[in-house]
Amino acid sequence: MQFNTAVLHAGKEGIEKHGATLPPVYQSSAFQQSSAEGLEKIFENKVPGYCYTRVGNPTVTAFENRITKLEGGIASVACASGMAAISNAFLNILQSGDEIVTSASLYGGTIDLFHDLEAFGIHTVFVENNNWKAFENAIHEHTRLIFAETIGNPGLDVTDIKGLSELAHAHDLPLIIDNTTATSYLIRPLELGADIVVNSSSKYINGNSSAISGILTDGGRYRWKKEKYPVLSDYLKYGPMAYIARMRAAVFRNMGACLAPQNAFLNLVGIETLGLRMERQCQNALGLASWIQENYPEVKVNFPGLRSSPWHEIAKRQLKYGYGAIFTMRVGSKEKAFALMNHLKLAMKVSNIGDTKTLVIHPSSTISLHSTARQKEEAGVYEDLIRVSVGIEDIRDLIEDFRQAMEKTKAFDTQST
Ligand SMILES: *Cc1c(COP(=O)(O)O)cnc(C)c1O
C-alpha cells in the first residue's frame, strides 16, 4: 500500500464488526472474558485479547497497527505522550551504569529527560550531529544505544541516518531515531538502518492539536544480547519480538503511561490527512522561508530546503517529497524576535509544532528554558531565534502576515535606537 492509502486503511483489521468507516472508540477501562481460564490465558500472554486499557485497548491497537505499517516496523506501542514513548524506549533496555550517546541537536524536553536519567545512574554523552569522529570517541564500554532526531528540533540539522546506523551497528549498538519532525511521509528511518523509531504523535500525526500522545515502533532487526542487555534476558526467547515483549509485559505496562482510547481515535481521524497536510506544509515552508530570505537578507533563515543550509544535501538525498515544515529565523536580538512575534496576526504564539495552523515560538525562553547556555548553543538555540512551524493556510496570507510584521518590527527598531 502506498503512503496515502495506508494512512486511511492500514491496520484496521478485526477492530470493527458493524461496518463503521472509522475505528470505534472502545471507551472502556476493562474487558470481560467468558471464563476464568480465558482471563488467565490473556494474562499469561498465551492468547491475544484485552483485559485492561492500561495494558491494551482495541482503538489504541488500531492506531498502533497503522503506525507500524507507515513506519515499516514489526510492532508499535502507543503512549500517553511523546516523552512517555521516548522514556519507555530507553528504560526498556537500560539499567544503572549504562550510557547513551546522542546527537546534541535535540528537542529541549529530551535533553531534560537525559538529565533526569542521571539520578538513576544512566549517563548521556552529547555530540555534534553527523560528526562521525565525535560519535566514535563518545562510544565506550558501557554505551548501550545511539539516539538522534531525523530533523533536529529546533536546530534543523538533518541526521544522516544511514551513516549513523552503520556506525552504531559497527559497535553493535541499536540506533533509536525520533522521527517527529519529518514523519513517515518524508522518511522511514527503519528502512535506512535505524532499529527503533519514536514519534510524538501530538504533532503532525494528530495534525490539529487535539490530543497529546506518542508512539514507538520496533524494526525487529536488532539482536539483543543478554550480556549487554540483561533486563531483556527473559524475553530473548521471543526473537525479533523480544524488545516489544518486554515493553508490553513490563516497562510500558508498569510505568502506566498508556494512551487513552479517545486520543487514539483523534489520532486515527487526524492521520487520514497526514500525506495531504505534509505535502502542503512542506510547500508552504519552502515558499515562506525562501520569501523571507530573499526579501530580508539581514535575517538568517535556517531551513533544510534552502541551499544555504549545511544539511541541504543530506535532506535532498534522504527526505522524499519535501524538506519538512519547520524553519527558524534569527532576527538580530531577543527584543526584535519578541516584537516580530507580537506583530504577527495569523501565526499563533504556541509551544507546539505540526498543527494545521502556523505557529511561532521563541525557543530560548520557552522549550529550551531549562537547557544550559552550552546545551542551547549545541542545539542551535539562540537569543534572537524564532521557530516557525508552517501550517496549511494559503501561502499568500502567510507571506502577507510576515511582511506586515517585518515592516512593523523595522519601525520598532528605528524607534528604540
Ligand atoms: C514535541 C516533541 C517531543 C515530545 O512529545 P510530547 O508529545 O510533547 O511529549 C519529542 N520530540 C520531538 C522532536 C518533539 O517535537
Instruction: Retrieve residue 180's grid coordinates.
Output: 517527529
Q: Whose CA is nearest to atom 2 of ligand 1?
A: 200
Distance of CA 16 from the midpoint of ligand 1 (Å)? 31
CA distance 187 to 215: 16
pLDDT on residue 43: 85
Distance of CA 207 from the midpoint of ligand 1 (Å)? 13
Asked whether residue 16 carries a pLDDT value surpassing 80, the answer given is: no
Asked whether residue 414 carries a pLDDT value surpassing 70, the answer given is: no
pLDDT band at 415 (very low <50, low <70, confident <90, very high): low
Asked whether residue 217 carries a pLDDT value surpassing 80, the answer given is: yes
Atom of ligand 1 nearest to the CA of 213: 7
Asked whether residue 416 carries a pLDDT value surpassing 60, the answer given is: no
Question: 127, 159 in Cβ contact below 8 A?
Answer: no
Distance of CA 338 from the midpoint of ligand 1 (Å)? 24
The DSSP H or E segment spanning 404 is helix 395-416
Q: Mean pLDDT, the chain, as a whole number?
A: 95
Residue 59 backbone class (left: φ over 0; alpha: ψ -120 to 50; beta: rest): alpha
Spatial neighbors of 341 by CB under 8 A, at least 6 apart, are 347, 349, 360, 362, 386
pLDDT on residue 410: 85
pLDDT, mean of residues 124-149 = 98
Beta bridge partners of 323: none
Question: Would you give the end-to-end CA distance of the chain in angstroms?
Answer: 59
CA distance 154 to 352: 11
Distance of CA 267 from the midpoint of ligand 1 (Å)? 15
Asked whether residue 417 carries a pLDDT value surpassing 60, the answer given is: no
CA distance 336 to 384: 7
Question: 311, 304 in Cβ contact below 8 A?
Answer: yes
pLDDT on residue 378: 85
pLDDT band at 412 (very low <50, low <70, confident <90, very high): low
Question: 281, 325 in Cβ contact below 8 A?
Answer: yes
The pocket around ligand 1, CB under 6 angstroms, is made up of 81-83, 107, 109-110, 149, 153, 178, 180-181, 200, 202-203, 212, 214, 353
pLDDT tens per residue, range 341-388: 999 999 999 999 999 999 999 999 999 888 899 989 888 999 999 999
Distance of CA 86 from the midpoint of ligand 1 (Å)? 9
pLDDT on residue 110: 95
| Size (the chain), residues | 417
**CB contact burial 370-379 (16+ within 10 A = b; e otherwise):** ebeeebbebb
Asked whether residue 89 carries a pLDDT value surpassing 60, the answer given is: yes
- To the nearest 10°, report the CA torsion of 342, 346, 352, 355: 180
Asked whether residue 314 carries a pLDDT value surpassing 90, the answer given is: yes
Distance set, CA 272 to CA 10, 182, 227, 228 (Å):
10, 17, 43, 40
Atom of ligand 1 nearest to the CA of 149: 13
Residue with cell 564500554: 141
What type of residue is 238? Y
pLDDT tens per residue, range 272-292: 999 999 999 999 999 999 999
* Cα-only R_g, the chain: 22
pLDDT tens per residue, range 36-67: 999 998 888 888 899 999 999 999 999 999 99
What type of residue is 329? M
pLDDT on residue 411: 72
